């Protein structure tokens, strides 16, 4: 089974780290990442930009574009896509296209990535699309 492990923390606190604190935290995580990668168990790793860089696309016949992160609490995180886009406009268009294709309501939060390591899981357990 593949698992997504999602990171939650106060972006104010993490954002206030000095360069040294940030690098030290990354270094400690990389030790774990390297071990997982050697075992062929590590998939993509991403660090998101702060929520101030986010735009939300509310699905619907006419998609609604809202500045800021997804803020509702009655809907839950069910999945994500990582798409290469030339601009925010293109990213929003892509989200709209996905929205038209999906049958549900809900929203997409479009958030640029700060760090992306593609990695490839080589040890295959059962679940693969």
Would you tell me which residues interact with other proteins (CB under 8 A)? 10, 12-13, 15-16, 21, 49-53, 55, 65-68, 87-89, 112, 114-115
Phi, psi angle pair for 95, to nearest 5°: -65, -40
Residue 55 CB, shortest distance to other proteins, in Å, is 6
Minimum CB separation of residue 61 from other proteins in Å reads 21
Which CB atom, from 2 or from 65, has the smaller least distance to other proteins? 65
Residues contacting 81, CB < 8 A, separation 6+: 98
Taking the complex as a whole, how short is the minimal distance between the CB of residue 12 and other proteins, in angstroms?
4
* Token representation of residue 90: 């293109």
Q: Angle at Cα 21 formed by Cα 16 and Cα 25, nearest 5°?
A: 110
């Amino acid at each position: 089974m593949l698992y997504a492990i999602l990171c939650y923390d106060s972006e104010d606190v993490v954002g206030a780290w000095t360069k040294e604190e940030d690098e030290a935290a990354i270094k400690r995580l990389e030790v774990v990442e390297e071990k997982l990668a050697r075992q062929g168990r590590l998939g993509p790793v991403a660090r998101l930009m702060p929520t101030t860089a986010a735009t939300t696309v509310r699905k619907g016949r006419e998609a609604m574009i809202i500045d800021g992160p997804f803020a509702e609490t009655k809907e839950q995180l069910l999945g994500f896509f990582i798409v290469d886009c030339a601009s925010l406009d293109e990213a929003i268009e892509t989200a709209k296209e996905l929205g038209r294709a999906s049958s549900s309501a809900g929203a997409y939060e479009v958030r640029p990535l700060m760090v992306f390591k593609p990695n490839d899981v080589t040890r295959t357990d059962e679940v693969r699309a």
